[in-house]
Structure 1
């Protein structure tokens, strides 16, 4: 089961221009405004229209904005570290040696091209040698952590006993982004399917598979059968429906046709006596498919998925084919990402914590952590004030909510304890082998946690990655070092813009603990209903209004935002903005906000919020987002939360007839 870690994912940050002193003070990119658009009609375009008009999405990107700028900065910073390590001899077996060797091997495309398919031949031979459904199940078990399989295993806190780790099985195994890409007959989906079919055929041709067109069609048909059994993204958001613990023997009885015992044993989970099955009907359908479909089709599926998973470390023809589909057809990019930046992604995945330690030493000032702790404290206090002021929640439920808020764990910057990579073997000049061994190493570490106590000190993200998240099973919010730097948070900028950007992000993550998913877990991370029936009913009634609001937004022609899928993130945006605004007001100590650059503090707050969501996205990427992603497109995040905020309407004096005007009685207020 995919645990419901609620990430910000697209934490898009404001782009302050240090070239203009007033902008540096005000914390806003003034040239990025569009004077022809009134804030009262469109906050997002008023604050970002100039930038939107003058900015082109780079050819190698599906989208571009504040997040992409920070991500590129982080990649450049860690690249400098790794390339410095590679320029001089390192002690064999040290993390410095492993970082340099891993990156250098990945960058040596000439050697990769010369090696051809030879490095992957043992894995391809394993697939050719499969002679029974049992052996297929064992192969799928061994592939956990290596590639997406029809059943994906994970290990994490038990929803009902969050102090103990529990294995879980979830649906997976699709080469397209999700079930709609297989089942919908919309032109955009049909186009994506055609591109995928061509990609599968190209992989088959390059690997010397007989009758490549027929092989591709058989694999697509198999995946379509899997997709028909998949739960849709909205159903997967319900943690109660997803919590189905059972013994392996019980799973085998309920979902016959697939050798679950062989699968789990090959995945190093043969010792477990209990696991969660997130989508039981999918498990039953998989058993039927394994019993029904020819083994030859499954072997073709396995071979083409293996080639796709490792295309980055295969010869140029494979790399080009993968980009033509995953880069161009699915995301709209017209050129491949620079090899060095792909290398940073690979190194972060394999040795991210080791690289993070070096990154923090160089790029994370000690004062940033203290300042962030202060900001989080202010936001937590503001959220507590909001709890007490709720008119729709009973004292009984408020007491439970307050208990949960008080039990939040806050992780900032980097972990207190760094991971040990001594057991990971990295060989010079072995790009593919390094990836295989790294994936196996990561899976062994994860599988070994099943049945053991949860280590609350562990981090779920590397310090050099630009993101933030809330995890309901540990009731923690986490902000890695890479997000705590200019232009995201600028100590030289005005407080108003900082509260509108970093403050709203902090508030967003706190609010995830009380959105439609997070609110089903208590302060100890246990899946438990701590609400009175009347309070839950009142909450759901307000949430339904938010679903309707966002479902009315058309992201691309003929394709609207899914208000049910994005509900959790929209609640977090709405509540996070409310809480950040209250925290900013508290910071003024009862004094009026200063006017800077002709804007009041309240106006700068909302303009900073809007510029935090500055982004442009290609149509192909937007289609993928509204189909599968629980986050709404950026402009709807910026405007959708602000339109419900009393402070926004007061700051800009909106009135009837303005496009962003919403009467006080109609505004949606949750926390």
Structure 2
């Protein structure tokens, strides 16, 4: 259960090789983004000694000073940017994460372009196979025909599941997710985990919620399924698509909600191999486990037991021909981006335009860079770091992390509501933190991965299988504490509770998050708050359940738990009240962990900023105080805007609040009121007694 600063929906293309990975997390992972930016993104500084953005690191021209800070701080700090900045045609949303993602893609492209000129260079061969669009179009559906034929000619359900498992190892989605993870209650060992999966739409609500917008999506989704079957040469496509949709609706009915799936205690369930047959009858578990290579384990972790029971029943009740069609559509969906343009455009037409509102697909080179980065990220990352992440940036980020950790320690020591015995354990947990900055100490070895120029689908399939097999090899081995789950080129960060670590890839350590030439207040409000966010995830409503060793255990007193719940219930209520779309609110329960982390991150980063002043007053720069610049730093990184379908998708399925509401975290912080003179009666004003103060 790793938690990140931003949402997976918005950066998914850069995170995985295939459209639908085989290693669906057994526990609900939340590496994830919500986004921001300067009007034209970071530009080369005129003076190497000056910040890249504005006079002190923030784009003051992007404010809307016709709005009072106390009315809406997002609109005040970012309204000018929002009005002046269009969402690019190839984006469903836009903000600073996207600006930096584009920069990262451009830089990675230079590495891949150079690699294509070197015969035998694997990343170059992979990239060339993607970029040869004419060759891809000439092959049509040919590269996946053997996969489809294997499914169509297998009429026995057990044999069909064996084929599905084989494909799942190559990046095709299955009814259930299988993955290797640390055992939450014994984090010194790896274990195999199972979790709910199998949907083609983002969340169960898309199938079940009585909403006109979602009903239209359901209709379009069935048309998309029919279109894919037709492109593959299958007859009676509409009727067959309707049957597959009905099956997926059955799966959705069995699924847990995302709020239920956040609970680290409820999602820790040990099953033996025999338990699967007894508790989830109707599915050939033994054969499936054999095909997935996970037999012989003393136990398995199951995240959503009743969902697996329900999914097994759906499987048992579904005719074999519908299961075949379901599996074939999973193949077509997973590999459509790597097939001829008719498949690719149909796939984007639904997932890009209908579901997310994006008018145009990204240009091919961007998609190619994302694909190869997902397949061989650390092979590229080693070169990326050498070119674009100087040692002084790493050293400065290291110091910022130390300062924020120290500020968190002070907060814990002075916490009035936490019992002394719990406080001692919390400080021990903080002392045991492992911060990872920039890039791994040891790079992955891709020598066993076969890459062939001209075989795009084969390269993707082999890369997915390579990753899956790599994970299987962890079983029975010591925990690899040097492993990274993001590449250096990723614009994101994450906290991993079982490792008790916080991780910050090189590419996020850039303006507006971090600029060594910017005023320190901007850096502390930007990357400092992000660092605090990730650190505090280890003390949010779920991260707090893991001790200093990364073990899921009950180490808080019951009184501490009760007091903490009073705070978190108030935060849930606060965010439930936000209504970004008419009739559709932020889900305070779903976004609770991220909202706690935003609140705590800002709190400790503010302390760390004032600690960095060494007792001296902050200078006034361009008429702004240090505290004002600190909060500008926070607001600037969350500059963001969404197309309506993308915002709807975020509100229904993302554990992060939209950027606008993330900025409004400041409503809970006393220094913000003083910094901007916010008064009672203004829309964002919260009475002191109603401000949520946890840390």
TM-score normalized with structure 2 length: 0.94
Q: Does 1:184 align with 2:209?
A: yes
The equivalent residue for 2:225 is: 200
Kept in 2, the 8 Å contact 1:4–1:472? The answer is no
Is residue 467 of structure 2 the alignment partner of residue 442 of structure 1? yes
Contact preservation (8 Å) 2:348, 2:361: yes
1:228 and 1:204 map into 2 onto residues whose CA distance is 25
1:546 equivalenced with 2:567 (yes/no): no
Alignment-derived partner of residue 177 in structure 2: 152
Whether 1:372 aligns to 2:393 is: no
Larger deviation: 661-670 or 425-434?
A: 661-670
Aligned counterparts of 1:168 and 1:31: Cα–Cα separation in 2: 50
Counterpart contact for 1:8–1:509, Cα < 8 Å: no
Q: Residues 618-659 of structure 1, C-alpha deviation per residue, up to 9 Å, x if partnerless?
A: 1101111111100001010001x1000011011112111122
Change (3 A) 1:356 1:270: same
Secondary structure in 1 aligned to 2:193? Answer: strand
Matches within 5 A, 1:18-57: 18=45, 24-57=54-87
Q: Is 1:67 the counterpart of 2:92 in the alignment?
A: no
Matched, 1:278 2:278: no
Match of 1:384, SS? Answer: helix
Residues 537-579 of structure 1: CA distance to partner in whole angstroms, max 9, x if unpaired? 0001110000000000001111000000000000000000000
Secondary structure, counterpart of 1:556 in structure 2: coil
Asked if 1:653 corresponds to 2:677, the answer is yes
**Secondary structure in 1 aligned to 2:502?**
strand
Distance in 2, Cα, partners of 1:200 & 1:668: 46
Alignment-derived partner of residue 194 in structure 2: 169
Moved more, 240-249 or 529-538: 240-249
Aligned-pair distance for 1:273? 2.6
1:6/1:470 contact within 8 Å kept: no
- Contact 1:469–1:509 (8 Å) recurs in 2: yes
Kept in 2: contact 1:246–1:275 (CA 8 A)? yes
For the Cα contact (< 8 Å) 2:54–2:60, is it kept in 1? Answer: no
How much has 1:6 moved relative to structure 2? Answer: 4.8
Q: Which stretch of the first structure deviates more once superposed, 374-383 or 136-145?
A: 136-145
Number of residue pairs the alignment of both structures matches: 664
Whether contact under 8 Å (1:4, 1:471) holds in the other structure is no
Structure 2 residue 689 is matched with structure 1 residue 665: yes
SS in 2 for 1:436: helix
Between the aligned partners of 2:233 and 2:600, the Cα distance in structure 1 is 55
Distance 1:280 1:5 in 2: 17
Per the alignment, do residues 441 and 380 of structure 1 end up closer, same or farther by CA in structure 2, a change over 3 Å counting? same
The answer to whether the 8 Å contact 1:9/1:468 transfers is: no
1:318 to 323, 343, 349: 343
Change (3 A) 1:8 1:130: closer
Matches within 5 A, 1:205-216: 205-216=230-241
CA contact (8 A) 1:24 1:492 kept: no
Closer, same or farther in 2 for the Cα pair 1:492/1:56, shift >3 Å? same
Q: Do the aligned partners of 1:413 and 1:463 also contact (CA within 8 Å) in 2?
A: yes
Partners of 1:326 and 1:293 in 2: CA distance: 26
Shift of residue 453 of structure 1?
2.3
Query: How far apart are 1:19 and its partner, in Å?
Result: 6.3
Matched with 2:663 is 638
Describe the SS at the equivalent of 1:166.
strand
Q: Is 1:570 paired with 2:595? A: yes
Question: 1:248 Cα deviation (Å)?
Answer: 1.0
Contact 2:338 2:456 in 1 (8 A): yes
- 1:130 matched to 2:159: no
Give the superposition deviation at 1:480: 0.6
TM-aligned CA deviation for residue 85 of structure 1: 1.6
Q: Give me the whole-angstrom Cα distance separating, in 1, the residues matched to 2:42 and 2:610.
A: 22
Contact 1:5 1:469 in 2 (8 A): no
Q: 1:526 corresponds to which residue?
A: 551
Maintained 8 Å contact 1:554/1:560: yes
User: Is the CA contact (8 Å cut-off) linking 2:396 and 2:516 kept in structure 1?
Assistant: no
Tell me by how many angstroms 1:424 deviates: 0.5
Who is 2:330 aligned against? 305
Unaligned runs of 5+ in 1: none
1:404 counterpart residue number? 429
Equivalents in 1 of 2:585, 2:540: separation in Å? 22
Match in the other structure for 1:238: 263
Structure 1 residue 396: Cα displacement: 1.1
Task: For residue 135 of structure 1, give the secondary structure of its aligned residue in structure 2.
Answer: helix
Partner of 1:26: helix, strand, or coil?
coil
Aligned partner of 2:361 among 327, 336, 345: 336
Q: CA deviation at 1:24?
A: 3.8
In 2: Cα distance, 1:449 partner to 1:3 partner: 17
